Structure 1
């Protein structure tokens, strides 16, 4: 092997090593930055009104900023359910609202009203299941939601009395304000133990959860 080839090989190796080191330092710095933000803004992730599933002392605190009319939230819902079952007892899920779509506030008010009947998660599931019908972006029909509530044992007449409660408007405004402060610009947005999901995707979400287990 001549000197020129050796020089090329050495140069390539040095470049690769340099890239690896730079990537490691970047990730370390980003992780430190995320940890600092998580500590400084700890109060913004969970509010007293936030719906939660899973044990409070779970090693993974998963916060999802979501919109019930968001198609991506619907798709991710099944995967989040899968993770909650796969790592049962190790994840606490907290739901926060970011109503970016036109009928989201209506759906959230119904969700919260159903919650008073102990039917929050069942209602969330049926809303996502039927979302292509009531939340169709070309021809939304939010009034269809009333037809779905009996399917999960919700007292519709009671919800119709409760869903206009101004407390729900304040709840939504608080979640929206926290979302803005945390830099949430799309749904779903996930935070794992106060740190944002670094790369969006199913596998990436599970991988980052596993880092904390």
Structure 2
């Protein structure tokens, strides 16, 4: 366990170094979000390992660079979850991990264990709800919340973490490649939304869905 936490800490420091101190998006900017079209291969946004919530072949894709310990990610979560529920055939959410806080990478390990156990969505919701209890890196609260949401903690703690570590490293590298500077950062069908509010994310998805139906 201690060796794993050491690796986790190294990943966190790597993420912080890449962001230059992590300029975190608060989601409170007024007006229309700035638009940025990402140049480069699509697999910089979507990798085979990326968790997907919603239909895998949905025509509209939200990619979220996400940190379970990020307060803004917690604030955006009900909106993002609501968008996927509102468009059950048209929208999918692709989660990319960007650990920027104490405990973030271990929380991501928990989420990956939950995915293996078929509990990703309830455990994600539980970790975000309980975030104030473990945001400072005291991870007992995160494990307790995950267990209440149905995670088999004994199996989760016994899981190898090499894949999760490699996937986080890839997500950090991809975040750098596409110009992500903090969490949450959203892309809708490849277009970055810079410092949007939850309402602006929802409006953007609604407009894309409507345009595809014309």
3-state SS in 2 of match to 1:212: helix
Please list the CA deviations of residues 33-56 of structure 1 after superposition, one character each: whole Å capped at 9, or x if unmatched: 71xx35x33111111111001112
2:71 maps to 71
The alpha-carbon deviation at position 176 of structure 1 amounts to 0.4
Are 2:144 and 1:147 aligned? yes
- Written as runs of structure 1 = structure 2, the 5 A alignment for 1:194-209 is 194-209=190-205
Stretches of structure 2 lacking an aligned partner (at least 5 in a row): 1-31, 210-214
- Written as runs of structure 1 = structure 2, the 5 A alignment for 1:31-46 is 34=37, 37=38, 40-46=40-46
Are 2:179 and 1:183 aligned? yes
TM-score when scaled to structure 2? 0.77
Are 2:164 and 1:168 aligned? yes
Q: Point out 4+ residue stretches in structure 1 off by more than 3 angstroms.
A: none
CA distance in 2, matches of 1:174, 1:89: 29
Q: How many residues align?
A: 177
Stretches of structure 1 lacking an aligned partner (at least 5 in a row): 1-26
TM-score when scaled to structure 1? 0.78
Are 2:144 and 1:126 aligned? no
1:105 maps to 105
Greater length-normalized contact order (CA 8 Å, ≥ 6 residues apart) = 2
CA distance in 1, matches of 2:119, 2:199: 30
2:155 maps to 158
Please list the CA deviations of residues 113-156 of structure 1 after superposition, one character each: whole Å capped at 9, or x if unmatched: 12111111111111001001111x4xx42122222222122111
The alpha-carbon deviation at position 88 of structure 1 amounts to 2.2
Write 1 or 2 for the structure with the bigger share of helix: 1
Mean Cα deviation higher: 56-65 or 187-196: 56-65
Please list the CA deviations of residues 40-95 of structure 1 after superposition, one character each: whole Å capped at 9, or x if unmatched: 33111111111001112322110000100000001100111111122222101000
Q: CA RMSD in A?
A: 1.8
